[in-house]
């Protein structure tokens, strides 16, 4: 019997080591430090490395992920760093919040099935306050076949055109596709093809 996505992620996060490391994603870190602290939402947050970093920078953090194991490790990491985060076990389709609540939303390697991607992105963007910023980093379609991480289906990888369409209600601040040398725990290692996007909700 095929495992569900939540079971797959629970299995991946079940061991004590942090499979993507405990340091924040470099692009997320650099961009977050440019912003005034407020409320931030981190969907598909996994083991909490980005949530904990944001909390250490005085952000009020709300995170969610479908993995119960990911949540447990994130809360443990937060406790070790003496910060508090709100972390909900939920998928994109389950998470609900009031619209225009967050000053920032960060989607870091939050890959979903192609037939759900646009709906998820549109719904998440509604949670941004006017003037709020969305930060995204993920694998581009050029990543297929590389051993440095990501889903093995090209349909789950990003293109610039997809992101511009998904976030058409936002003002595009940055959109670039580039090759980087990833070093984020055991599962993001080596040369990778990625896309970085920053959008801002119009005031």
Q: How many domains does the chain have?
A: 1
Q: How confident is the model at residue 106 (pLDDT cuts 50, 70, 90)?
A: very high
Angle between helices 68-80 and 49-56 (to 10 degrees): 30
> CA 140 to CA 127: how far, in whole Å?
25
Q: What is the pTM of this model?
A: 0.95
Of 7-21, 53-67, 89-103, which gets the smallest average pLDDT? 7-21
Range of the domain at 196: 5-201
Share of the chain above pLDDT 70, in %: 99
CATH classification at residue 141:
3.40.50.150
What gap in Å lies between CA 163 and CA 117, rounded to an integer?
Answer: 10
Indicate the DSSP class of residue 156.
G
How much is the pLDDT for 2? 62
């Amino acid at each position: 019997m095929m495992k569900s996505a939540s079971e797959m992620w629970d299995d991946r996060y079940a061991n004590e080591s942090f499979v993507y490391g405990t340091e924040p994603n470099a692009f997320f870190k650099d961009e977050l430090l440019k912003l005034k602290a407020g409320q931030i939402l981190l969907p598909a947050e996994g083991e909490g490395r980005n949530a904990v970093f944001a909390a250490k920078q005085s952000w009020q953090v709300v995170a969610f992920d479908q993995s119960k194991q990911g949540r447990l490790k994130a809360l443990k990491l937060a406790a070790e760093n003496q910060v508090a985060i709100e972390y909900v076990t939920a998928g994109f389709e389950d998470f609900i919040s009031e619209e225009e609540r967050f000053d920032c939303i960060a989607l870091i390697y939050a890959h979903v099935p192609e037939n759900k991607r646009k709906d998820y992105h549109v719904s998440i963007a509604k949670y941004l306050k006017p003037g709020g910023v969305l930060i995204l980093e993920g694998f581009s379609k050029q990543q297929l076949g590389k051993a440095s991480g990501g889903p093995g289906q090209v349909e789950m990888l990003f293109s610039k055109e997809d992101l511009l369409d998904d976030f058409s209600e936002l003002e595009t601040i940055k959109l670039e596709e580039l090759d980087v040398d990833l070093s984020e725990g055991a599962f993001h290692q080596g040369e990778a093809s990625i896309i970085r996007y920053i959008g801002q909700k119009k005031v």
